[in-house]
Structure 1
Amino acid sequence: MTTYAALLRGINVGGSRKVPMADLRALMEGLGHDNVRTYLQSGQATFAGDHGDEDALAAELREAIEKRFGFVVDVIVRDHAYLKAVADACPFPAAELEAKQLHVTYFSAPVAEERFAEIDRAAFLPEEFRLGDRALYLYAPNGLGRSKLAEQLSKPRLNKGLIATSRNWNTVLKLVEMTDG
Structure 2
Amino acid sequence: MRTYIALLHSIVLGEGRRVVMSDLKEVAEGLGYKRPRTLVATGNLLFEAPVKPLVEIETELERAFEKAFGRHVDIILRFAEDWVRLADGNPFLPESEKDPSNVHVRVMRSPLEIEVQGKLVGYCSRGERVAIVGGDLWIDFAGRASGSKLLGALTTRRLGIGTLRNWNTVRGLRRMAGG
Please confirm whether the aligned pair reaches a TM-score higher than 0.5, indicating the same fold.
yes
CA distance, structure 1, for counterparts of residue 138 and residue 177 of structure 2: 20
Match of 1:11 in 2: 11
Aligned to 1:127: 128
Letter aligned with residue 131 of structure 2: R
Cα distance in 2 for partners of 1:5, 1:91 equals: 21
After TM superposition, the score normalised by the length of structure 2 is 0.89
User: Match of 1:53?
Assistant: 53
Give the equivalent residue in structure 2 for 1:104: 105
Amino acid at match of 1:44: N
> Which residue does the alignment assign to 2:152?
151
Q: Unmatched 5+ residue regions in structure 2?
A: none
CA apart distance, 1:4: 1.0
**How far apart are 1:119 and its partner, in Å?**
3.5
Unaligned runs of 5+ residues in structure 1 are none
Task: State the one-letter code of the partner of 1:98.
Answer: D
Distance 1:135 1:28, change over 3 A: same
- Choose the corresponding residue for 1:164, options 162, 165, 173: 162
- Matched-pair identity in %: 33
How far apart, in 1, do the equivalents of 2:123 and 2:69 lie? 43
| Structure-to-structure mapping, 1:81-100, within 5 angstroms | 81-94=81-94, 96-100=97-101
Say if 2:31 is the partner of 1:31.
yes
Amino acid at match of 1:36: P
**Are the counterparts in 2 of residues 5 and 45 from structure 1 also a CA contact under 8 Å?**
yes
**Kept after mapping to 2: 8 A contact 1:121/1:128:** no
The amino acid across from 1:141 in the alignment is A
Deviating more after overlay: 112-121 vs 40-49: 112-121
Aligned residue number for residue 143 of structure 2: 142
Deviation readout 1:26-72 (Å, 9 max, x if unpaired): 11011011110011221111001122311111110000011111110
CA distance in 2, matches of 1:48, 1:156: 28
Q: CA deviation at 1:165?
A: 0.1
Moved more, 9-18 or 101-110: 9-18
How many corresponding residue pairs? 178
Q: Distance in 2 between matches of 1:149 and 1:177?
A: 29
Structure 1 CA distance, aligned partners of 2:126 and 2:13? 29
Match of 1:68 in 2: 68
- TM-score, normalised to structure 1's length? 0.88
**Matched position secondary structure for 2:3:** strand
